Amino acid sequence: YTGKSIENALGDILKQNKVSDIKGLPVAVSEETSVYDAIVTLFLEDVGTIFVVDENNYLKGVASRKDFLKITLGDNDLGKMPVGIVMTRWPNIVTLRDEDTALSAAKKVEEFQVDCIPVISDDNVEEQAELTGRVSKTHLVKLLAEIDEQR
């Protein structure tokens, strides 16, 4: 590919693919989970971002590597501290829905400077929407790397 044709192909790919086409399975814990156990989950599941849900699987928060690093700088008992203390909560969570395009996902990653965005169900009230997936920077790069297969 050269110049304009790459540009067109990338634009098409980002507009034609929906979040539902590219999303992965979310890794989630409950708000009472200790920071220690959440960090262990981060390693075991090989992710950089963990989501926090309630008993209805409604999204409550997002905790990333930096959140965990910050809390480990202090003199804290990580085994006793709940992940709810370090997570980012509503109304500050950036989310996506299945019907959003990969382009809007890329724009949100850029605008809000986040690595990973939770995908939630189509309910009207965000605070009462179920967590259904995740879109990370890696999912978006993977989509672009498949440019040859998509044409």
Three-class SS state of 111: helix
- Of 66 and 151, the one with the shorter C-beta distance to ligand ADP is 66
Q: 10 Å Cβ neighbour count for 62?
A: 22
Q: Which of 24, 48, 82, 84 binds ligand ADP (CB under 6 A)?
A: 48
What distance separates the 2 farthest-apart alpha carbons in the chain?
56
Binder to ligand ADP among 28, 38, 52, 62 (CB under 6 A)?
Answer: 62
Q: Taking the mean position of all CA atoms in its chain, how far away is CA 147?
A: 23
Of the candidate residues 42, 93, 119, 135, the single one contacting ligand ADP (CB under 6 A): 93
Q: Is 49 near ligand ADP (CB under 6 A)?
A: yes
Give the binding range for ligand ADP (CB under 6 A) out of 14-22, 73-81, 108-116, 122-130.
108-116
C-alpha span between 9 and 12 (Å, rounded): 5
Q: Roughly what angle, to the nearest 10 degrees, separates helices 137-145 and 3-16?
A: 130
**Interface residue list for ligand ADP (CB under 6 A):** 48-49, 62-67, 88, 92-94, 114-118
